[in-house]
Structure 1
Amino acid sequence: MAVEKIGFIGLGMMGHGMAKNIVEKGYPLFIAGHRSRTAVEDLVRRGATELTSPAEVAQAATIVFLCVSASPQVEAVVRGSSGLKAGAHEGLVVVDCSTSDPNSTLALAAELAPLGVTFIDAPLSRTPKEAWEGTLDCMVGADTATFERVRPVISTWAGKIVHVGGLGDGHKMKLLNNFIAMGYAALYAEALALSQKSGISPQTFDSVIRGGRMDCGFYQTFMRYALERDENAHKFSLANAAKDMRYLEAMANAAGIANPVGNAVKNTFAAAVASGHAEAYVPMISDIVAAGNGTKLT
């Protein structure tokens, strides 16, 4: 069987590491220009081929991975005048690794199917560190045959791969995953602000929680910023967190369920973004909530 030829669009904090693992593990890799020339030049040195547009990447590849910020960007990459659709060919598989709106995912799949293109979702969990190390978590929404086709390539950058279900189910699961994570972040931030304002320092708070039943990996990452001021502890922006919670709200509306906790989490992040902190990282919500309550986590 011929080796799959891989395209990759979106060489940001996550995509750079993912693409690095694909090319280093033997797959021909085609990339399109990105605002970060550092990532492009690094991948070319490792053996990737740079092309000028998503259309050219689609023409050259048999499987194309997308790792961009949200559904509007995915739609632009697919539908743009030099987008993937312009270079589509029979048998091409497009894998959206972004955290996207499942409704958009279903629409794009229906649009590409008459061209012989299969569109699936395979969003990620964990951080740029794991992307670089090739140990991300991945949740895939696809038919079984397509899942088996893409799994060997995904395994170059993921340590845990779960076939969640059919098209769109990966993105639904990713939103549920991020709901839990951002819910933790909002909860920790409010608890720390209340603790500080009540005379219990963040250090004392942590000495009780750490190592107990309420401890977890996300807590430790979050507190690495709250206690040690490590700004790179979790490189995921508040803007992206707020976007994911809006998508979760749409998912809840489509399912016809009440999601009061989801709305509270969404509002925490929406307020932080509205106050000018869109590009701050998730653990920094602790400072924003504290400041909004007239205190500092010192």
Structure 2
Amino acid sequence: MAMTSFQRIGFVGLGVMGEPICRNLARKSGLPVTAFDLDPHPLERLGQYGVQSAADIAAAATDADVVFLSLPSGAVVEQICRGPGGLLAAGRQGLVIVDLSTSSVDVTRALAADFARQSIAFVDAPVARTRAAAEAGTLSVMVGADASDFERVRPLIATFANEITLCGPVGCGQVVKILNNMILFETVVAIAEAKAIAERAGVDPALLFDTLAKGSADSFALRNHGMKAVLPGVFPERAFSVEYARKDLGYALRLAGETGVDARGARTVDGWFEEAIKAGDGAKYHPVISARIGASKPDPDRQS
């Protein structure tokens, strides 16, 4: 049971990550949880863990003193907060909102300022790792909050995460998560390029990846995205899709523009994402771009 000053939890968004996160909160926090999602099926599954179903967003927040959001984009977060019957309208003084979604930094900070005017705390706490980690309660969470808000929400976050990092004030959690994903996406491109070159040069890609994992090219991306997706060519739907990945990369490119950084590596990845979406692969697991990289021909204008 989590030691916390909160009495009741609200939860909005029970998708791929939200459902297992909500289940862990219900099982381990010792607090009642009321949740809302447009899809009734996860609500039905969570019922056996004591999660109550809310009729709408406002109902999920009415009696709660902390509300978690797990939504597909910053645009949806903004809609949930600013729309009719949303959290800005339904929230009351003293409420704490914890956004587990990956959202743009500017939207996050603007929402936090608007909630602060109503004496509502807004914490950005985007999650990293996989659905399997969400199921196991071993996510990594990057938090943007003031220190006192962080200490209040940390015990609840600990029900679904084993790495919790305070990255700075509001918005800083999003900065770190966005850059985490940018690095991952760029690394997957490097892995896909290496596989394609190795195959054409007569080296078994499985041997290549196994050998790279023993040296300085080893990485989480190599062992997971490379060995489990790029190598076997397995790119399921209902995983972290190209469309979602491109959304997160877009946040990184926007942040690069705002900070005056020439992020040409990230722009290269964005080009591959764009090609995959145009080819009809937008709903597939994002390492699917490796198939396009593997089939690509060199650009003669870029050859030395």
TM-score, scaled relative to structure 2: 0.91
Q: Does 1:89 align with 2:92?
A: yes
User: 1:38-85 CA deviation, whole Å, 9 max, x = no partner?
Assistant: 311111111011011111112121111111111111011111212222
- Residue 216 of structure 1 and its aligned partner are, at CA, apart by 2.2
- Residue 24 of structure 1 and its aligned partner are, at CA, apart by 0.3
- Residue 293 of structure 1 and its aligned partner are, at CA, apart by 4.1
Secondary structure (helix, strand or coil) at the match of 1:224 reads helix
Q: Does 1:106 align with 2:109?
A: yes
- Residue 269 of structure 1 and its aligned partner are, at CA, apart by 1.7
Amino acid in structure 1 at the alignment position of 2:144 = G
Q: Does 1:227 align with 2:231?
A: yes
- 1:48 corresponds to which of 51, 59, 64: 51
1:59 maps to which residue? Answer: 62
- 2:175 corresponds to which of 166, 172, 175: 172
2:267 maps to which residue? Answer: 263
Q: Does 1:126 align with 2:117?
A: no
1:12 maps to which residue? Answer: 15
Q: Does 1:236 align with 2:240?
A: yes
- Residue 233 of structure 1 and its aligned partner are, at CA, apart by 11
Write the distance in 2 (CA, Å) between the matches of 1:17 and 1:250. Answer: 30
Write the distance in 1 (CA, Å) between the matches of 2:118 and 2:292. Answer: 48
CA contact (8 A) 2:127 2:139 kept: yes
Secondary structure (helix, strand or coil) at the match of 1:147 reads helix
Cα 1:234–1:290, aligned 2, differ >3 Å: closer, same or farther? Answer: farther
- Residue 91 of structure 1 and its aligned partner are, at CA, apart by 0.5
Unaligned runs of 5+ in 1: none
CA contact (8 A) 1:120 1:142 kept: yes
- Residue 132 of structure 1 and its aligned partner are, at CA, apart by 0.7
Amino acid in structure 2 at the alignment position of 1:279 = A
- Residue 141 of structure 1 and its aligned partner are, at CA, apart by 0.2
Unaligned runs of 5+ in 2: 299-304
CA contact (8 A) 1:6 1:29 kept: yes
**Matching of residues 117-156 of structure 1 within 5 Å:** 117-156=120-159
Identity of aligned residues (%): 35
- 1:205 corresponds to which of 183, 187, 208: 208
CA contact (8 A) 1:127 1:234 kept: no
Write the distance in 2 (CA, Å) between the matches of 1:154 and 1:204. Answer: 39
| Greater than 6 Å deviation, 4+ residue runs | none
Q: CA RMSD of the aligned region, Å? A: 1.9
